[in-house]
Amino acid sequence: MTIGRIDSMRVGGDKESDLERRYCISSRTLTAEQLAAAVRAHWGIESRLHWILDVSFSEDASTVAKDNGPQNLSLLRKIALTIICADKTDTRKSSLQLKRKGTAWDGGVRERMLGIRSIS
């Protein structure tokens, strides 16, 4: 088991941010270098997910701010993203945003992605 502390500071142009301190716990025994690499990899994944949600779902432009609305919508967007990305039957080379729109417009595509069929 490893318990670590990460001290970081972002530098953008000629400006530095305040020192940010985070604590990490890992079930693995890690060296300082391995812990730093794991933390960087984690934040890389978080950054890519946020970018995808913002570009494909315009998450940053959402005006929902009351009660649990923002968290609920964020969860629904992540579920939709997971379903769209898990669909291996769609072989078209198109953007995630176009796949999302196509899924919204075509009930047959939606049924296939969700693994359901209409009763009609």
10-residue averages of pLDDT along the chain (120 residues): 87 79 90 89 82 85 89 90 81 78 83 80
What pLDDT score was predicted for residue 11? 78
Which pLDDT belongs to residue 75? 92
Whether the CB-CB separation of 80 and 39 falls below 8 Å is answered with: no
CB 40 within 8 A of CB 51: no
pLDDT given at position 72: 93
- With H, G, I as helix, E, B as strand and everything else as coil, classify residue 19: coil
**Residue 68 DSSP symbol:** T
pLDDT for 49 equals: 85
Q: Return the domain boundaries, the chain.
A: 1-8+18-58, 62-120
Q: What is the pairing mode between strands 15-16 and 2-8?
A: unpaired
